[in-house]
Amino acid sequence: MARSAGNRQLKSARVAAGYPTQQAFAEALGVDVRQVRRWESDKPPWPHPDMQQRLTQLTGQNVESLGFVIPAGRDRPTERRSAPVSLRGGAVHLPAVPSQSGASVQPASVASDYERITRSHRHLYWSVAPATLHPSVRAHADLGCALLAETAGRTRHTVAAALAETWLLAGRIEFFDLREPDDAGPTLLRALQAAGEADDPLMGAAILAHSAFVPGWTGDREKAGERIAAARAYARRGPASAEFLSWLDAVEAECESRCGNTRTALHLIGHAEEALTRGSKYSNPEWMDWFNPVRLAAFKGNTQLQAGHLPQARTTLLGALDQMPPSDGKQQTVIYGDLAAVEAAAGQPEEACRYACLALDQLEITWYATGMERIREVRRALAPHQHDQCVRDLDERLYGWATTVSALSR
């Protein structure tokens, strides 16, 4: 007999809120762990009002979004808005499986049709302007939620998996391309809930690792570490490929680097390289198209830069640039920005400005807020040379009408 997956929505929200185990969640709630197990079963009992409030406070979601069903004859509880502990708010209540007498059940073909659009968005991400693509991705996610209310069995499972990828893509655009981390957090929580509905641990690991960037980039090492630990736990259930595990090391390395722990970050990069060298018998999931050995080299170059190892960073970044395919314009922008930062730190303002202008050239083709962020950091580092002609020429590019209006609008 197949084992029940239980209340996936509560499980996903618990992990996203920073409680990787039922015991930790029980302690935060002030209840026995057996109570949490009952709530995470396939037929969770309706919580008492005081527990409803505590569950809402810890997860940022109302009790219905956590997989609880209001008993017959009970009034709907008053919704209390509160910020969750980790991934902030924004969760939705995923529709239940339709009953025989309820909503109409869609044919199995809707799953493959929905997946096809998801794959198209995945490919379009690398060339379409994020402000153009993002509304389409979000609308596709809304469609996926609607389809869950009209699908069951394997069809529902497939739709949920594609929905998780869709929301992950939306979160990546919000965080990396548009630099809207306050929007990315709730979106990634939606993605995690959908991955739980699909019972896809590798997708869950990918979502949790992406969510680690949000606190990692602000220097919150504790929260970033919790999410990376959860991502690794999910990856072990995968099973994960060597490339996937290498990427997890690279994500943690970037978070550690941004928190000022460059020695730890360099160690993690070394571990990531070893993982790729060893390889594994498992292959990458189709949707993991954002990482490869060249991307790892880019991670490494940035980590060396943050550690002050300028000659090594220059060599690593130039090597990555040589191997970067022309179609990967967004990553080229980031590498140009890091090379500019290397030269600025090395006291070579003309070379720094040259690389910064190459990054701006690429941004005119494909906008990438993370790349522009790198260039602004370089310009701040060039303040001692602001009267040099090369820096003035850079300012003419950096503060033109188009780039200035674009920067202010974001």
> Each residue of 113-168: pLDDT tens digit?
999 999 999 999 999 999 999 999 999 999 999 998 888 888 889 999 999 999 99
pTM: 0.78
Q: What is the pLDDT of residue 5?
A: 73
Q: What is the pLDDT of residues 340-360, one digit of tens each?
A: 999 999 999 999 999 999 999
Total count of domains within the chain: 2
At 191, phi and psi to the nearest 5?
A: -60, -40
Within a domain: 210:
no
Q: Which CATH number does the domain housing residue 12 bear?
A: 1.10.260
**Structural tokens at position 75:** 């009034």
Tokens 């090597």 locate to 319
Q: What is the DSSP string of 94-123?
A: PPPPPPTTSSPPPPTHHHHHHHHHHHHHHH
Please report which confidence band the pLDDT of residue 97 belongs to, taking 50, 70 and 90 as the band edges: low
Within a domain: 387:
yes
For 39, the domain range is 8-63
Rounded Cα distance, 168 and 172, in Å: 6
Within a domain: 126:
no
Within a domain: 13:
yes
Average pLDDT over residues 314-335: 95
Closest to 11 measured CA to CA, from 20, 3, 2: 20
Q: What is the pLDDT of residues 257-315, one digit of tens each?
A: 999 999 999 999 999 999 999 988 899 999 999 999 999 999 999 999 999 999 999 99
3-class secondary-structure state, position 316:
helix
Within a domain: 269:
no
Within a domain: 43:
yes
Average pLDDT over residues 74-84: 48
Within a domain: 349:
yes
What value does the CA radius of gyration of the chain take, rounded to a whole number of Å? 23
User: How buried is residue 84: exposed, middle or buried, by Cβ count under 10 Å (0-12/13-18/19+)?
Assistant: buried
Within a domain: 231:
no
Query: Does the pLDDT of residue 410 top 60, yes or no?
Result: no
Percent of the chain with pLDDT over 90: 69
Cis peptide leading into 349, omega within 30 of 0? Answer: no
Rounded Cα distance, 172 and 159, in Å: 20
